[in-house]
Structure 1
């Protein structure tokens, strides 16, 4: 694999979790990082998940949803027992996760953040999500992602 590993890939190796890394040439003009990954890797959009950082009652929270859908902020808040959610500022998301926007992985964050994975992930044997930088995706079983991220599974996509 060309390029350096990330906190997410290092965590998967350390925990001996079965996964595959898929690298592609990221186009900086791509309008949507997740859609780009789906198209370049030839994957159905419902198997490629994007990692979004929101604030629920002022606390950063991660929502992981298929690139074919949108994050339902009310559902995300409800999933973590909160009342109000809004998308986080990019700088705050990057600082807390240690990743750059468009390459935020659902694992290996700088700070321990609550993670909510959309229930649709369980429809697939494996899903794809950012490995921690643009142009790098990891493929893993939803159960492994749930366990490693200590994620809650809830219907958070629209």
Structure 2
């Protein structure tokens, strides 16, 4: 597996300290993020998934714990929109340049507004996709906010 991806190149360019972690990607897993957390031996609350959203007709990105669901209402309000839905797989892949299961919030082909769940800041480091299936980046959540200009808010659904 190549360690150089658009995501790692973006992080390198921004002088972010991070660690890469590889694992055996299971496309049949019920929850890919939780499977990745289990494979790496970390709590699912530290494994953050990247979801591509259509917000009022424009793309946006949500980053939240793998063991939570996204509140579309909270996300829309956070990013100043009214209506949010998940992007179709083909649209998400075209906009990001990544394959589903390997979509990283870093190094996407097109910069879009980003929201990250506030729970990320409860951890010294969190994990998110490194731009390939089976590759995770471990970094300080403050670096995610800095590099992506992400808005921090509670975007995960309650419960």
For the 8 Å contact 1:33–1:134, the answer to whether it is kept is no
Q: What is the SS of the residue equivalent to 2:90?
A: helix
- Shift, 1:28, TM fit: 2.8
Alpha-carbon distance in 2 for matches of 1:65, 1:149: 14
Match of 2:122 in 1: 123
- Shift, 1:3, TM fit: 2.3
Match of 1:132 in 2: 131
Superposed counterparts of 1:1-158, under 5 Å: 2-158=1-157
- Shift, 1:141, TM fit: 0.5
TM-score for both structures, normalised by structure 1:
0.96
Q: What is the SS of the residue equivalent to 2:130?
A: strand
Alpha-carbon distance in 2 for matches of 1:110, 1:33: 23
Q: What is the SS of the residue equivalent to 1:69?
A: coil
For the 8 Å contact 1:51–1:65, the answer to whether it is kept is yes
Aligned length: 157
- Shift, 1:29, TM fit: 2.1
TM-score for both structures, normalised by structure 2:
0.95
Alpha-carbon distance in 1 for matches of 2:2, 2:130: 12
Q: Out of 90-99 and 2-11, give the one that drifted further.
A: 2-11
- Shift, 1:133, TM fit: 1.2
Please identify runs of 4+ aligned residues in structure 1 that moved more than 2 A: none
Q: What is the SS of the residue equivalent to 1:132?
A: coil
Alpha-carbon distance in 2 for matches of 1:133, 1:99: 7
Aligned-residue RMSD, C-alpha: 1.0
1:37-75 CA deviation, whole Å, 9 max, x = no partner?
Answer: 100001001000000011111111100010110111001
Alpha-carbon distance in 1 for matches of 2:116, 2:80: 15
Q: What is the SS of the residue equivalent to 1:106?
A: coil
